[in-house]
A = this chain, B = another copy of it.
Amino acid sequence: MNFVGNQNPDQLSDIERELIAFFVNAAQAVGLPKSYGEIYGLYFATEAPLALDHVIERLQISKGSASQGIRFLKSINALNSAYLPGDRRDHHTAETSLRRIADGFIRQRIRPELKDGAARLKEIARQSSNSPSDIVHERIDTITSWTKKADLLFPFVSKFLGKAGPSHNEPTI
């Protein structure tokens, strides 16, 4: 076991490892690469802004993984840019607002998926015009109503996540 309060810059403490494991698990649950979870976990466990090199060194992952992971996490607003005078490297910190991250994730990963699902559906509907089968038309109506519901759902989810938690003030919406 590590020395309590270990601040050795190139060695993860027990608690850091646990936090990272938590996010690795979460990442896999939503279908993201393990490395993305590791990276976010590291940022989440660290108050100070970190650069690419830090991530590579502390997590022992490749430059490519770290670069792609950071870029993705930025793209969904899970990481915020931080400016450090006198350092050419880009630094980031973890975004801790669940709503912001969820919004980014939905916009980046879910919506495009839904959108091309809708396009696909439109094509199906077009083709179905010369299908004599009643069931086909009925089922196409069913999916149409599904996609409409899904479209309405996300703003509600976002608003829901923006609400204050059970016992805390959450000024950051």
Contact = CB atoms under 8 A, between A and B. Distances in A.
A139 B5 contact: no
Contacts of A85: none
Chain A contact patch, size range: 35 or more
Contact of A4 (B18, B116, B130): B130
Copy tally for this chain in the complex stands at 2
B45 A136 contact: yes
A11 interface: no
Contacts of A96: 139, 142
A168 interface: yes
B166 A120 contact: no
A111 B25 CA distance: 14
Interface string A122-164: 0110011011110110010111011011001100110011010
Interface string A16-29: 00110110011001
Nearest to A156: B160
Given A18-B127, A120-B22, A139-B96, A153 B161 contact: yes
**Chain A interface SS verdict (over half):** helix
Interface in A39-89: 44-47
A12 interface: no
In the A-B complex, the 9 residue pairs with the smallest Cβ-Cβ separation, listed nearest first, are A145-B165, A31-B31, A47-B135, A18-B124, A29-B113, A5-B132, A98-B146, A96-B142, A15-B131
Given A25-B116, A98-B145, 6 more contacts: A4-B131, A22-B120, A26-B117, A29-B113, A152-B160, A156-B160
